[in-house]
Amino acid sequence: MNKEILLEDLGLRDYKETWDYQEQLFQGILDIKSNNRKSGDQKITPNYFLFVEHPHVYTLGKSGDRSNLLISEEQLAQKKASFYKINRGGDITYHGPGQVVGYPILDLDNFFTDIHRYLRLLEEMVILTLKDYGLNAVRSEGETGVWLDVGTPFARKICAMGVRASRWVTMHGFALNVNSDLGYFDNIVPCGIRDKAVTSLNVELGREQVPMEEVKEKLLKYFQNLFQVEFSHYRQNH
């Protein structure tokens, strides 16, 4: 089993370009697994972790409802935002500048074959990171992601999650609002949930900006501890 993870920070990168890149890495792992099965080889499968920040984009999961996008194609263009229907779970979400997006592309055969556990550990990584900032973030029963003030009229989501898995290989991941323009969430029913708001770390802390690199470092530290892995850098900003 390979517990090394190749880490790459793509910087600000177009959503479709990043999605294609994820697919390439994802398919590469699947090909190795398929060849191993056919040939009896034991070639080690790699694991990747991509950080990225996207220009304004709305993405709709395969089980999502298109009507949860509340604006027209023309309005999308006016807002310089893109829209994609994609192959992860979940409904509609927004990505944009000021958001830390992480895409772990892992062969869970190298760790544990349990998607539920995988999602809970991703949530725990975010919960522990936010705790460092003095926020009591929690899960919301039956809803993937990380929330504040669950069970109150002030419940709000700070981190969305949606993954795809095939033969225990994962792609897509999480999006943590750090310095997000929350106005863009007004154009959708986030994750198809109508009665809860969305927030961002800087808003919760009453700060104009929270250093993105600082947040990434914390996320990686907790990911490393929770998954018991080692990171190595991989063609950073290629």
Domains of the chain and any CATH numbers? 4-233 (3.30.930.10)
Alpha carbons 158 and 100: distance in angstroms, whole number: 11
Which of the residues are catalytic?
Answer: 191
Would you state the pLDDT for residue 191? Answer: 57
Determine contact, residues 199/148, Cβ cutoff 8 Å: yes
- The enclosing H or E element of 52 equals strand 48-53
Would you state the pLDDT for residue 204? Answer: 98
Alpha carbons 105 and 5: distance in angstroms, whole number: 9
**Rg of the chain taking only CA atoms, in angstroms:** 18
Would you state the pLDDT for residue 86? Answer: 85
- Structure tokens given for 62: 């395969």
pLDDT tens, the chain, 238 aa long: 789 999 999 999 999 999 999 999 999 999 999 999 999 888 999 999 999 999 999 998 887 888 889 999 899 999 999 999 888 877 888 999 999 999 999 999 999 999 999 999 999 999 999 999 999 999 998 888 999 999 999 999 999 998 999 999 999 999 999 999 999 998 987 655 555 689 999 999 999 999 999 999 999 999 999 999 999 987 644 4
